[in-house]
Amino acid sequence: MKIVLFGIPGAGKSTQGNLLSRQLHIPYLSTGHIFRKIAQEKTQWGRYIKETMAAGLLIPDKETITIVDEYLSRREYQKGYILDGFPRNLHQAKTFANHIDSVIYLKIPDKESLWRIAGRESEGRDDDTIAAMKKRIEIFHKYTKPVLDYYRRKKLLVEIDGSKSIKHVNKYLLKSLGKSIGKNGLTSWHKRRKVLLAIVGLPGAGKSVAAEYFKKRGFPVIRLGQITDDIIKERKLVNNNANNKIVREELRAKHGMDAYIVRNIPKIRHEFESGPVVVIDGMRSYEEYLSAQKNFRNVFLLAVVADKQVRYSRLKRRKTRSNLSGPDRDLQEVVNLNMGPTIALADSLIINNGTALDFEDKLEDVYRQVYFGLD
């Protein structure tokens, strides 16, 4: 099913898009998400996108169409998608080649939009100001309303009162798509292929933050380093670099370089009984990766990297294990623990030097790829 969501800022497109994504099991894609990623890049084009969005203006048609077409050609969108923020004008609508099943317009008054925007907490976005919102509302009425008429003539448009409660809007929206939530929910689709999502990266890169993000998405998380922490606690040792090294080397000398995966195989299999995706926080050695592939076949490697000083600064701010950092620890993980190949062979690599919102946007891409694309 291919769905397009329309509405002025604050209409609830993101809220309803994410709800529908979970209910219909198809990915939600916002062009704003795509452009915010580009705006983070330290390039002339990135600066242009950032300034254009901050002013509440639209990205030119040619570039917008190219970017959207490229995203929708990816594997994770082949079974359907929920698209927010495109097409914004008649030229885009007529040029857009993808077949659309339904176009949903969440309709709210302009005043309601501004009240909702004013009530939002700051998310660190330059384009989320009242002045920018007023400009975007003006552009919507001028350029996007003709698109609604275009889809109305094609008998694809459904208008919904977006000023109602989230639950009410969602219920009506599902009805418009021929769906409803029963006692057992929507069961028309389920992910058949089981995927082990393994997060790799040096200390402070953001592995734990990434794991927490996927946990909120409903994926169980197994932290490999918990084995080390438990042994150190059991021996009543200080949890520092030296003792970490001793414990890790003991385990690997006794059980092999894949010790941490081997010791967690029963736990991983147990988690797979209740869901299609299990997350490993902190895979290190290449041997662990090979062992994971041997036992679970579908292993997706996500490498999270960050500049050295950025990582060290983050580690110093940790409430626990803040002393587990430095060049010696880095070399030990890359060389002694053979982490280099797992980063080099990653299926997806995220550079995490920016804001939390930027990192979350990148993780959202991985979530869609793993959950919807690998099936």
Positions at the binding site: 10-15, 31, 36, 57-59, 85-88, 92, 120, 125, 136, 164
The CB density around residue 266, as the number of other CB atoms within 10 Å, is 9
Beta-sheet strands, E only, within the chain: 2-6, 28-30, 81-84, 102-107, 157-161, 195-200, 221-223, 277-281, 299-305, 348-351
The CB density around residue 104, as the number of other CB atoms within 10 Å, is 28
Locate 239 and state its tokens.
């949890």
DSSP code per residue over 299-320: EEEEEEE--HHHHHHHHHT-SS
> What DSSP state is assigned to residue 76?
G
Q: Is 253 exposed, middle or buried (0-12, 13-18, 19+ CB in 10 A)?
A: exposed
Q: Angle between the 166-176 and 13-24 helix axes, to the nearest 10 degrees? A: 50
Binding residues for ATP: 10-15, 120, 164
Locate 139 and state its tokens.
């552009």
Binding residues for AMP: 31, 36, 57-59, 85-88, 92, 125, 136
CB 186 within 8 A of CB 23: yes
Give the contacts of 117 (CB within 8 A, at least 6 positions apart).
9, 10, 128, 130, 133
CB 199 within 8 A of CB 210: yes
CB 100 within 8 A of CB 1: no
Residue with tokens 């009805």: 175
Backbone dihedral angles phi then psi of residue 285, each to the nearest 5 degrees? -75, 150
CB 350 within 8 A of CB 304: yes
d(CA 37, CA 362): 8
CB 296 within 8 A of CB 261: no
